[in-house]
């Protein structure tokens, strides 16, 4: 599935994002995402803190299923993207720098909403990070409005 320019633009910059996975008994695991970037015409890479990501890492390595939920904190524009794992590994030094910059941007954006500058990035674990890349198979619009949950795109 080719990611639209709208989705790629949505993924860039600071968003409130979570990754969802499940184990073999279908027990769900949700973890805070500390950076997201589109990596190709149909792929996305996101980052989670190693300290909080062990179960997520086990789940994606076991069943290869990934769900990313991402929301613009200013507009509430939201998407749920479901797909299949490409790879999961420790983040490189360059990727950890990306995560630091992403978190700083998120913190700056949150301060515009009244949060104390530095409050979020100082409290959210983000380093060292794990990089999880996946191929998008389905995208659902989760923006609060009539039609929420509608399938936007699918393979």
pLDDT tens per residue, range 60-108: 999 999 999 999 888 888 999 999 999 999 999 999 998 888 888 888 8
Q: What pLDDT was estimated at residue 65?
A: 92
How confident is residue 132, by pLDDT bands cut at 50, 70 and 90?
Answer: very high
Set out the domains of the chain in order of their start, with CATH numbers. Answer: 5-144 (2.30.110.10)
Q: What's the pLDDT tens digit per position in 13-38?
A: 778 899 999 988 899 999 999 999 99
Is residue 103 within 8 Å of residue 126, measured between CB atoms?
yes
Q: Which pTM was predicted?
A: 0.88
Tokens matching residue 130: 């794990």
C-alpha to C-alpha distance for 115 and 44, rounded to whole angstroms? 29
Residue 136 or residue 116, greater confidence? 136
The two tokens of residue 6 are: 């709208």
Q: Which helix (H) or strand (E) holds 115?
A: none
């Amino acid at each position: 599935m080719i990611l639209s320019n709208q989705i790629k633009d949505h993924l860039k910059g600071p968003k409130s994002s979570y990754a969802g996975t499940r184990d073999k008994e279908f027990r769900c695991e949700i973890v805070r995402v500390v950076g997201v970037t589109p990596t190709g015409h149909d792929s996305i890479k996101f980052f989670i803190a190693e300290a909080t990501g062990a179960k997520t890492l086990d789940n994606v390595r076991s069943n290869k299923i990934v769900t990313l939920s991402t929301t613009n904190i200013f507009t509430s524009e939201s998407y749920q993207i479901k797909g299949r794992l490409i790879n999961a590994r420790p983040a490189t030094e360059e990727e950890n720098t990306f995560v630091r910059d992403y978190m700083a941007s998120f913190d700056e954006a949150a301060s515009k909403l009244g949060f104390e500058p530095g409050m979020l990035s100082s409290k959210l674990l983000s380093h060292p990070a794990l990089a999880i890349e996946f191929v998008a198979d389905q995208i659902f619009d989760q923006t609060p409005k009539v039609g929420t949950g509608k399938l936007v795109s699918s393979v």
